[in-house]
Structure 1
Amino acid sequence: MIRQKLITIITLVMLLCACDMQQQQSQLSQIKTQNKIRVGTLAGASNYYQAVQGEQGFEYELAQAFAEHLGVELEMVPFFNLTDMFSRLDSGDLDIIASGLTYDSMRSQYYRFGPTYRTISQKLVYKQGRVRPRDFDDLTGNLTVLAKSSHSLALQQVKQTYPDLNWNETEDLDEEELLQAVIDGEIDYTLADSHTLSLFRRYHPNLSIGFSVTRNDPIAWLMRKDNDDSLYALVVPFFGEVKQNNQLYVLEEKYFGHVRQFNYVNTLAYIEAIKKTLPKYQPWFEQYAGSLDWRLLAALSYQESMWNPRAKSPTGVRGIMMLTRATAKQVGVTNRLEPEQNIKGGAEYLAKLVKRIPARIPQPDRTWLALAAYNIGWGHVNDARIITQQQGASPDKWADVKKRLPLLIKKRYYRKTKYGYSRGDVAVKYVDNIRRYYDALVWLDENNAMKKIEPISEPNTVPTTINDTNKSNTNDPT
């Protein structure tokens, strides 16, 4: 009898210890056991979104890299307001928040911040046409920001200097919707992070910056603040690794490298051309794109000629895709001023360049390299790739080659190359421009903001001279 009671007691003790051990299991152990890390983010172009090719976004790709670092699957959980997202983190339903949030001393009392991996600034924005405000004393209307956001926290700090400052906060709109509300005249002012604003102004150039509210705000991931350091202990070396191996820079370049500079007049003219000029040629871009995205082909054409079929350059490059005589002959174009022929020939030539890129190079890098080759020739692009490899970087990543292309104008570099001097610096701007045009077209197209019409008769245009000092090697088949 005593023995049976003793066995029962020992069994109960063992069960209690097992339960206690389960309760004491670290956050990292739980992630490993579930084979899944749950990462929360605000849905949007700079964090996470669903595209035709699947999940995309800077924070998504960074979180995916961390999941691979841990050897587990990623579950990205999109949110539409901060309150819900922080509530889920507090309850343990999320492991990390990766949403481009800035470090704040008030937040740091309740949450643990990871290492800084980017910096942004907060801008006060308004619609072009209003009087530009230079500081908060100049505001003459409604200022609305996201509730519980970094913008709200920044305004709370600003109010100490401007005690009469008032603003509204909303959870019903996200950051891009607030920007759209400014465009639509529903609100007068809002605050936006610099990277979100850069992406948004590609297709809404009428959004203007009044002044910077903050500068160089550090961006970091957030975790629960408790006694469990197991996950944090791996976040820190992960960011050290992605900075060291250039992975962070490559992501920055992919999502933000081509939108850092903004030209109001150029963007406004482009949006106007999409409405008035593109519909005349869109059916041909679609018809002859083949394996290419017709919107990429159209963006390339706008960079080349601003969709003017009679454009020409002093070096003899002509037409809506700006083909040289040699390239036109190569792709069967007999009349470069005939837009359908020119578009067909330009599409065929670009497709050849894409195929010429080594098969091991993935998208979108192979497309950006092909665009650079369309501008200065594959030979010069390959010279830049060789320099890239010699300097210890990857010749297969556009972000790395982009850094070395400008070296082709320097004698100490180009004299050692096979094809010599080239305006590689211009090729970088050329590709960045096309990427901006392409992004805008994709957004407008996928949001049903473009009106398609049937091809019409040739517009009454006169030849336009294009200053193409950068085109000495355009369409170079080398």
Structure 2
Amino acid sequence: MPEFANRILLSRLRLAAILLLGVVLCLTPYRHFKPVSGLLEEVRERDFISIHTRNTPTTYYEGRHGPTGFEYELMRRFAEYLGVSLTLDARHHIQSALDAVRQEGDLAAAALPLDLTQPDLIYSRPILDLQPLLVYRRGLPPVKDPEALAGLTIGTIRGSGTDRVLRELQAEHPELGWRESSEVEVAELLSQVEGGYLDAAVVFEHQFRINRIFFPGVERGFPLGKPLSMAWAFPASGGLGLQQAANRFLYGLKQAGVLDELVARHFGHDDYLEYVGARVFIAHLNERLPTYAELFREAARNTGFDWKLLAALGYQESHWDPEATSPTGVRGLMMLTLPTAGEMGVSDRLDPVQSVDGGARYLRQLKDRLPESIQGDDRLYMAMAAYNVGLGHLYDARRIAEELGGDPNSWEDVREALPLLQKREWHSKTRHGYARGGEPVIYVRNIRRYYEILSYVDRSQQQYLQLNEAPNGVDEEFPLFDIISPLHQ
């Protein structure tokens, strides 16, 4: 009898639960309850996917040829994978991106740490390892372990995952305190460290790698804690379909090696410039470039190049020294040879006005003389290589690239062939013979990196000015930061 009574009670409880669920379903808007594939099907029906992101160098930003950035590349490819168009809202910081995707939009892709404690969200498979890193101001005693953090003013980004690591460390080191804000980005943190507002900051390894060249006054300290995982966030109310599609997409990129290629392309080039050389470049940018910036702008207007590209080429040639002279006889700010100067109508190679104008027109001439089959950035990079090594040697390298099974219209393949001009077995078969073919490879690489720095500084000029102006009502010494006090206080 008791067993029978228990069965009746369980049946009644199940019935009550079913009725309650029915009431909830009736009262809950459709947005908050979708079947497994609900949001995915909605995306396909409306023919676009809406993504919340951040405007940062490591996530999404406007480059020379339009939108770019590591996560932007992934978002764009994911939209193509789904067969839909892409719309972005990049006005977010981390927390606002998460809040927004809970209410509207389809996913958040904003260098988000995978956090399974976040309510109403589900996450994709891990995309990238995020290793927290302590960095500090050059000139301070070396900061190589947690014990050295005592007494330092440390900053970090709230919600990025680095704040979570600091809280875990504080449990072991109660004297640890820091300042955090969701309103700052990595560049601002590093700027405040370099400027003395902060002694140190906790960022991620890949973020420091891509930004370090802009902040030569900031030193690498030590890794903090174990790596976290970057992932995309989806509204839990949208079902599992979109998340599962993203997981299949990301898994496919990983298996094909495409994900690793994107990581290497966006985060793997901090060694393009020797670190001390980067510091010298930043110093020259502040001290020398202002004198010649208008010359580069005028030459850019006349030739159609970006003035920052011409300035980057000028720095590679002479370090913006108008009287520079090489042992081989090239002279001036753009280091023109005597025959090139005569061809360009430059009567005085040491005159900065003539040198910049002549160098820009010569680069334009080289680019225009290349075959029409070379397009886009490949065409620009080959023109820059020809500025260094000459068109004849560039054509020889293109033929070698083709002989090796590569694409003579691809800078990536020609770049691999150029150093072979130094080897007799190869240059003996070419029309123009031996060349120091490794030099134009480094030459183009450096100009591209200098151009990145100049573009970054140009984009960030207003931001840097704002960093020195405390908002009304905000602590002038530590604007925007909330102070996390040591546990013993």
State TM-score, norm by structure 2.
0.75
Structure 1 equivalent of residue 480 of structure 2: none
CA spacing shift, 1:142–1:394, aligned 2, 3 Å: farther
Cα deviation code 1:71-119 (max 9, x no counterpart)? 211011224322222223344x233332334556767996333353x55
Structure 2 equivalent of residue 281 of structure 1: 292
CA spacing shift, 1:410–1:346, aligned 2, 3 Å: same
Alignment of 1:425-436 (within 5 A): 425-436=438-449
Is 1:145 equivalent to 2:151 in the alignment?
Answer: no
Is 1:330 equivalent to 2:343 in the alignment?
Answer: yes
Q: Distance in 2 between matches of 1:383 and 1:106?
A: 59
Code of the residue aligned with 1:313 in structure 2: it is S
Structure 1 equivalent of residue 334 of structure 2: 321
What secondary structure sits across from 1:76 in the alignment?
strand
What secondary structure sits across from 1:98 in the alignment?
strand
What secondary structure sits across from 2:330 in the alignment?
coil
What secondary structure sits across from 2:86 in the alignment?
strand
Q: Is contact 2:401-2:413 (8 Å) kept?
A: yes
CA spacing shift, 1:108–1:419, aligned 2, 3 Å: farther
Higher percent of residues as helix: 2
Q: Distance in 2 between matches of 1:253 and 1:388?
A: 23
Q: How many residues align?
A: 430
Is 1:366 equivalent to 2:376 in the alignment?
Answer: no
Q: Distance in 1 between matches of 2:256 and 2:404?
A: 14
Q: Distance in 2 between matches of 1:294 and 1:329?
A: 24
Q: CA shift at 1:149, angstroms?
A: 1.5
Alignment of 1:205-354 (within 5 A): 205-213=216-224, 219-224=230-235, 228-239=239-250, 242=253, 251=262, 255-256=266-267, 258-261=269-272, 263-289=274-300, 290-354=303-367
Q: Is contact 2:58-2:71 (8 Å) kept?
A: yes
Identity of aligned residues (%): 35
Q: CA shift at 1:224, angstroms?
A: 5.0
Q: Distance in 2 between matches of 1:102 and 1:394?
A: 40
Structure 2 equivalent of residue 47 of structure 1: 59
Structure 2 equivalent of residue 200 of structure 1: 211
Structure 1 equivalent of residue 194 of structure 2: 183
What secondary structure sits across from 1:39 in the alignment?
strand
Code of the residue aligned with 1:63 in structure 2: it is M
Q: CA shift at 1:221, angstroms?
A: 3.5
Q: Is contact 1:80-1:174 (8 Å) kept?
A: no
Q: Is contact 1:259-1:436 (8 Å) kept?
A: no
Structure 2 equivalent of residue 456 of structure 1: none
Is 1:444 equivalent to 2:457 in the alignment?
Answer: yes
Structure 2 equivalent of residue 173 of structure 1: 184
Q: Distance in 2 between matches of 1:388 and 1:253?
A: 23
Q: CA shift at 1:396, angstroms?
A: 4.2
Alignment of 1:336-415 (within 5 A): 336-359=349-372, 361-386=374-399, 388=401, 395-399=408-412, 401-410=414-423, 414=427
Cα deviation code 1:28-49 (max 9, x no counterpart)? 2111111111222222122112
Cα deviation code 1:258-309 (max 9, x no counterpart)? 5444544323322232333223323322222221112211111111111122
Q: Is contact 2:97-2:110 (8 Å) kept?
A: no
CA spacing shift, 1:160–1:367, aligned 2, 3 Å: farther
CA spacing shift, 1:279–1:34, aligned 2, 3 Å: same
Q: CA RMSD in A?
A: 3.6
CA spacing shift, 1:123–1:80, aligned 2, 3 Å: same
State TM-score, norm by structure 1.
0.77
Code of the residue aligned with 1:273 in structure 2: it is H
Q: Distance in 2 between matches of 1:357 and 1:334?
A: 27
CA spacing shift, 1:185–1:389, aligned 2, 3 Å: same
Q: Is contact 1:254-1:399 (8 Å) kept?
A: no
Q: Distance in 1 between matches of 2:263 and 2:289?
A: 30
Q: CA shift at 1:317, angstroms?
A: 1.9
Structure 2 equivalent of residue 96 of structure 1: 107
Gaps of 5+ in 1: 1-15, 450-478
Gaps of 5+ in 2: 1-25, 463-489
Q: Distance in 2 between matches of 1:42 and 1:27?
A: 22
Q: CA shift at 1:334, angstroms?
A: 3.0
CA spacing shift, 1:37–1:326, aligned 2, 3 Å: same
Structure 2 equivalent of residue 459 of structure 1: none
Cα deviation code 1:171-198 (max 9, x no counterpart)? 2322222222223322222112233323
Q: CA shift at 1:443, angstroms?
A: 3.2
What secondary structure sits across from 2:123 in the alignment?
strand
Q: Distance in 2 between matches of 1:120 and 1:432?
A: 27
Q: Distance in 1 between matches of 2:421 and 2:40?
A: 48
